[in-house]
Structure 1
Amino acid sequence: MQYVKSGNTIALRVDYGEEILEKINEVCVKENIKTAAISGIGATKETEIGLYNMETGEYKREVYTGLYEVGSLIGNITEKDSKPYIHLHIVIGDTKKDAVHCGHLNRAVVGATSEIFITVFEHTIGRKFDEQTGINIFEF
């Protein structure tokens, strides 16, 4: 992993074999990032995606192993319990099966490289548990 900071934006490269969420968290801690927007592209070799079912309150998890192109990595960083709360969604494509998969990113190991921009927001946004939906929502 390497990154450079310019103004309120960080350009982050996550390298082969590294886990994306771990590296973003590392940058958040080093740079004291409380709130930000994230976007990125790249490739993964192991990806776990979740889809939340509001009726059951459970996440359906799927693991995709093999080389997948990241068509979109998008989300945000907020703060919960004084720690970075990284909320990302990902779209991955499998050219062999001509299939696309998307959802909440639980884990992604880079299969080539990942190029990510983190745009830092000057105000802190927290998270709170919402009884109606069963998820952690923005707390202003």
Structure 2
Amino acid sequence: MEYRKFGDTIVLRLEVGEEIAESLAALCEKEKLELCQVSGLGAAGQITVGVFDTEKKEYFSREYQGDFEIGSLTGNITRKEGKPYLHLHLVFGNPRQNVCVAGHLNRAVISATAELFVRVLPGSVGRRMDDEVGLNLFQFSQDS
């Protein structure tokens, strides 16, 4: 992972074999990031994405292996219980198959490169479990 700061934005490049979520979490710890907007693109060979089943209140994940272009990585970074909380979604596909897949990013191992922009916002937002919805939602309070 290599990155440079430009004002309120961190421009980040991931190398072959690096994993997106792990790398972003490490960046958060190193730079003490509390609240960020994330966007990016790249190429990955191993991807796990999920979709949330609102009736069962659980994620169902699927793993993919092959040559994939990341057409869009978007999301946010907050904190939950003092640790980085990544909420990322990914759209990826294989142009030879003319198919795209989207979902909640669990894991993506870079196969060529990834170029990410992490916009750092002032302040902090926490997370709290909402039992009715079954998800960790934004918590806008002093103790987040």
Query: Fold-level match, TM-score > 0.5?
Result: yes
**Runs of 5+ consecutive residues of structure 2 not aligned to the other structure:** none
| Mapped partners of 2:70, 2:26: distance in 1 | 21
| Mapped partners of 2:35, 2:93: distance in 1 | 29
User: Which residue of 1 is the match for residue 101 of structure 2?
Assistant: 101
Shift of 1:95: 1.6
The residue type equivalent to 2:12 in the other structure is L
Q: Are the aligned partners of 2:58 and 2:134 in contact in 1 as well (CA < 8 Å)? A: no
CA displacement, residues 31-56 of structure 1 (integer Å, 9 cap, x when unaligned): 00000000000010000000000101
Partner-residue secondary structure (3-state), 1:128: strand
User: Which residue of 2 is the match for residue 16 of structure 1?
Assistant: 16
Partner-residue secondary structure (3-state), 1:24: helix
The residue type equivalent to 1:109 in the other structure is V
User: Which residue of 2 is the match for residue 28 of structure 1?
Assistant: 28
| Mapped partners of 2:68, 2:127: distance in 1 | 31
RMSD over aligned Cα, in angstroms? 0.7
Q: Is residue 2:42 matched to residue 1:58? A: no
Shift of 1:94: 1.2
| Mapped partners of 2:22, 2:80: distance in 1 | 16
| Mapped partners of 1:8, 1:128: distance in 2 | 26
| Mapped partners of 2:29, 2:67: distance in 1 | 29
Q: Aligned pair count?
A: 140
Shift of 1:64: 0.9
Q: How does 1:37-56 map to 2 (within 5 A)?
A: 37-56=37-56
Q: How does 1:81-96 map to 2 (within 5 A)?
A: 81-96=81-96
The residue type equivalent to 1:58 in the other structure is E
Shift of 1:96: 2.3
TM-score normalised according to structure 1 size: 0.98
The residue type equivalent to 1:18 in the other structure is E
The residue type equivalent to 1:25 in the other structure is A
| Mapped partners of 2:133, 2:78: distance in 1 | 18
| Mapped partners of 1:58, 1:80: distance in 2 | 19
CA displacement, residues 83-105 of structure 1 (integer Å, 9 cap, x when unaligned): 00011000001122211000000
Q: Which stretch shifts more, 25-34 or 90-99?
A: 90-99
| Mapped partners of 1:95, 1:41: distance in 2 | 15
Q: Is residue 2:75 matched to residue 1:75? A: yes
| Mapped partners of 1:96, 1:115: distance in 2 | 22
| Mapped partners of 1:96, 1:54: distance in 2 | 33
Q: What percentage of aligned pairs have identical amino acids? A: 44
